[in-house]
A and B are shown apart, each in its own frame.
Chain A
Amino acid sequence: MYKFLFLIFIFKTVFATVSHVPQLVNKYYVYEQLKLIYGEEAKSILEKNILANTKVFAGACDPYAYESEGSKESGKQFQCFNGISSIKANSHSKTSVIRELILEKTCDKLVNLKNLKSGKFNKPVTYTDFNRHYKEFIPHRDLNKKVFESIRRQKINRLNQWKLFSKVVCRSLEWQKI
């Protein structure tokens, strides 16, 4: 009896007629958002890790929107990096372990970009400054003060506190949810 009920449950779950998949932003959004925050220096990291990963981050390429002539390129973000397999990708992405891992790796590289040391991260560790950085990702919300405190209490230097905080926000799902 229980086996039967279990089978019905599995059937209903796996072959559901109506299901809901929480949506995450696609590669175009992730690319532009992180480029906006970490600067032009981030471009090559983002192209390699985000734009070229259509299977993971979704967002169909458009081979007619990408142009090239010798070494010159235009519409680079629309390039079909891995051939035509990505011309019919989904519009939005969904959560996956591989997406988390790739984003973590990307964020790790981004927070270590040289220009940040003398620029965005060259500030004291205050709630106001952290909150300003947080709002670059999630404009309509304020940083939780407990998060700020927990980072401030870390026994690491100021630059590393900034890097840690930036990486935490960069890889968080909050700004990626649609």
Chain B
Amino acid sequence: MKLVLALISLLSLVSCQKDKINLSAINDKEYAEFLMVVESKCLNCHSNYNTTDPNFWVKKGLVVAGEPEKSPLYRSLRGTKLNGVNNMPPLKSPQLTEEELNKIKTWISKLSQFNTNKEIIVEYPEENLLDEQELLSRCYKHFVSLPRLSNSHIKKCSDLINELTLNESNVASSDLRKSILQNFQNFHKSWASEYNFHTKAESWATFELFDYSENSYGFTENLFNKKSKLKDLFIGNRSIVGKRIGKLKNDKLLFKQGNKLDRPLKRYVWALGNDDDNPRVWEQGGNFVKRGELVGFQKQKRNLNRINEVYKDIHNRDKYHVSVDINRGHGGGLLGNPSFLILTYANDNMTFMDGQKHTMRTWSKNVFNDFMCRTLPVLQLYDTYKFVKKDSEIPFQRNNTCMNCHATIDPLAGAMRNITVGFNNVIATQLDLSSNKQGYLQSFIPIDLKENERIFDVPDYARSKRSGTLRYRNFYGDLINKDFNGPDDLGKIIMEQIDPYICFSKRYLEFLTGVQIDLDNLIKNRDYHSAKERYYYNLLNELAINLKQSQNLKSLVRSIVSHPIYRLRDNKPVIRYKDEK
């Protein structure tokens, strides 16, 4: 008998083993916390509660949306002393804390605010529509940013869209097309966000050798070339650069800062010999970024500038022997573009990545900013508990709030683990770089440590495979957690997601209609959208799906310009939920 009882007890213990609810699929913080309480206090016996479907609780009659006091689940958890129908969990089991009870209450209260299934009514009032001439005027201002002359052959917006074309040499063949080209190039180059200009590279000669806006040419070329595909911009190591026609010799460097002559701001002027009191002659070396009118595009040339050494600082100390074609990309297309790497490199010069203290974190952050319009954190707190290492020697790894960002940017930075940046004087080789007065003619150069074996004491991490994980919550709130093998694979995975296309759509929508969307908030609050927010969420989704399919920005422009919003005088449709007045 004892044996039977023991067996029954053992069986009941086994059957009461906790199941785990798959919380990684939940994108709503309050709901995740609700489920965590259910998992710890209810699931032992109520195994059917092992669900992530929020509708389950309402359908089963356990929860009355928005009304915790009427919800049997909440009432039972409060117990019979507080008008509950019974005591749950049973009094002999561990009871809920006040905090846990509040988590249950919070989510049930929130349920009433769910707007995701409400019908939206949208009106585009006729009295607010532009006539054909006004519409043409708007298009012309957007596309050309110049006044339309009375003899112009452009008679309607579609004529302008047809001008988004290059000839077989990848060149804009008319003045109008060149103006449109320059206008959209200016727009695309404004996409890049937190760059190093104001900290590291602005005062140096770096951007004589690297076009600071190199990443934006690919987008402009895509807009003008119907054969171009957005996803191809994120693969390979040859950038698309501007084709320019110069008229003058250009005897000044680019970035002198205003007309201030006080040192250190005058260093360029001074070093160039433009200082009347102290002229100094120097001879230009290297191939500079071509200057002149932007007329089209070309692939970056191979071996435009080769160097054989880099330095840790401007005074020629800690010299490293290298062999680098400096304008060649480092894989992943735009992700590994040398200009992008310099602008997003936030370590000291010649720092070798170790995967712990030093990684390309600012680069990772900018991948999200520039190509997905997202700011960190892009994970929920409950996504990242599992990455916390309580016994780590690195402080941020012990803290979940820190790991909320690091769980995204650290594994992503694996794609550029082999990169460091050093100085080189390729543009002024004859100058004495140990002189304080002349050293400023140096440039930052990205170096691939894997390809330069003569650089020693490099951590294994920096020389190992350029792999990692793309990890974030996407536009729909789904957790993306994909491993990649190398930058090209990362580029491919990124462009398989909806988020870059959402980002490009959001930017174009703002450019063409003035609608500004805070994407992070729109995603975070998607269960509580106002009618207007829901409308723009759906619109972005629709534009992005089409863009992902077409892979071409021209189709995006066509979609927005032909959308009723574009024709509204104030670009503001009247939007409400069906049951709202």
Instruction: List the interface of chain A (C-beta within 8 A of B).
Output: 15-23, 25-26, 28-29, 32-33, 36, 59-60, 62-70, 72-75, 78, 82-84, 87-92, 139-140, 178
- Whether B182 sits at the interface, judged by CB under 8 Å, is yes
Task: With both chains docked as a complex, state the minimum distance between the C-beta of A25 and any C-beta of chain B, in angstroms.
Answer: 6
- Given A17-B517, A18-B522, does the pair A88, B146 have CB atoms closer than 8 Å? no
Choose among B190, B254, B518 the residue that contacts A63 (Cβ–Cβ < 8 A): B254
B292 neighbours in A (Cβ, 8 Å)? 64-65, 67, 74-75
A89 neighbours in B (Cβ, 8 Å)? 190
- Given A32-B147, A91-B511, A140-B133, does the pair A62, B248 have CB atoms closer than 8 Å? no
Task: With both chains docked as a complex, state the minimum distance between the C-beta of B131 and any C-beta of chain A, in angstroms.
Answer: 8
Distance A82 CA – B518 CA, assembled complex (angstroms)? 30
Interface residues of B in 214-264 (CB under 8 A from A): 242, 244, 246-252, 254-258
Choose among A25, A68, A72, A87 the residue that contacts B145 (Cβ–Cβ < 8 A): A25
Q: Is the CB of B293 within 8 A of A75?
A: yes
A66 neighbours in B (Cβ, 8 Å)? 291
B148 neighbours in A (Cβ, 8 Å)? 139
A16 neighbours in B (Cβ, 8 Å)? 518
B207 neighbours in A (Cβ, 8 Å)? 63
Choose among A28, A64, A72 the residue that contacts B291 (Cβ–Cβ < 8 A): A64
Q: What total of A-B pairs shows CB separation below 8 Å?
A: 135
Q: Is the CB of A67 within 8 A of B517?
A: no
Distance A2 CA – B434 CA, assembled complex (angstroms)? 68
Q: Which residue of chain B has the shortest Cβ distance to A28 in the bound complex? A: B145
A178 neighbours in B (Cβ, 8 Å)? 138, 141-142, 514
Distance A23 CA – B244 CA, assembled complex (angstroms)? 30
- Whether B33 sits at the interface, judged by CB under 8 Å, is no
Distance A17 CA – B192 CA, assembled complex (angstroms)? 21
Chain B window 166-193, contacts with chain A (Cβ cutoff 8 Å), 1 for yes, 0 for no: 0000000000000000110111011010
A21 neighbours in B (Cβ, 8 Å)? 514, 516
Task: With both chains docked as a complex, state the minimum distance between the C-beta of B339 and any C-beta of chain A, in angstroms.
Answer: 12
- Whether B289 sits at the interface, judged by CB under 8 Å, is yes
Q: Is the CB of B141 within 8 A of A140?
A: no
- Given A17-B518, A18-B515, does the pair A88, B247 have CB atoms closer than 8 Å? no
Q: Is the CB of A69 within 8 A of B249?
A: yes
- Whether B533 sits at the interface, judged by CB under 8 Å, is yes
Distance A17 CA – B187 CA, assembled complex (angstroms)? 22
- Given A25-B145, A29-B145, A72-B248, does the pair A65, B190 have CB atoms closer than 8 Å? no
Q: Which residue of chain B has the shortest Cβ distance to A178 in the bound complex? A: B141
Q: Is the CB of A140 within 8 A of B532?
A: no
Q: Which 8 A-B pairs have the closest CB atoms?
A: A140-B133, A69-B248, A67-B248, A17-B521, A69-B249, A23-B514, A60-B186, A33-B147
A62 neighbours in B (Cβ, 8 Å)? 182, 185-186, 294
Task: With both chains docked as a complex, state the minimum distance between the C-beta of B251 and any C-beta of chain A, in angstroms.
Answer: 6
A140 neighbours in B (Cβ, 8 Å)? 131, 133-134, 137
Choose among A36, A67, A70 the residue that contacts B247 (Cβ–Cβ < 8 A): A67
Task: With both chains docked as a complex, state the minimum distance between the C-beta of B505 and any C-beta of chain A, in angstroms.
Answer: 14
B290 neighbours in A (Cβ, 8 Å)? 64
Distance A140 CA – B134 CA, assembled complex (angstroms)? 7
A88 neighbours in B (Cβ, 8 Å)? 189-190, 192
- Whether B97 sits at the interface, judged by CB under 8 Å, is no
Q: Is the CB of B517 within 8 A of A91?
A: no
Choose among B190, B525, B571 the residue that contacts A20 (Cβ–Cβ < 8 A): B571
A22 neighbours in B (Cβ, 8 Å)? 514, 570
Distance A67 CA – B517 CA, assembled complex (angstroms)? 37
A91 neighbours in B (Cβ, 8 Å)? 145, 183, 186-187, 190, 511
- Whether B150 sits at the interface, judged by CB under 8 Å, is yes
Apart from A20-B514, A32-B147, A91-B145, list 4 A-B contacts with CB within 8 A. A33-B147, A66-B291, A74-B292, A88-B192
Q: Is the CB of A20 within 8 A of B570?
A: yes
Chain B window 1-19, contacts with chain A (Cβ cutoff 8 Å), 1 for yes, 0 for no: 0000000000000000000
- Given A17-B533, A18-B516, does the pair A28, B250 have CB atoms closer than 8 Å? no
Choose among A19, A29, A64 the residue that contacts B141 (Cβ–Cβ < 8 A): A29
Interface residues of B in 498-529 (CB under 8 A from A): 511, 513-518, 521-522, 525
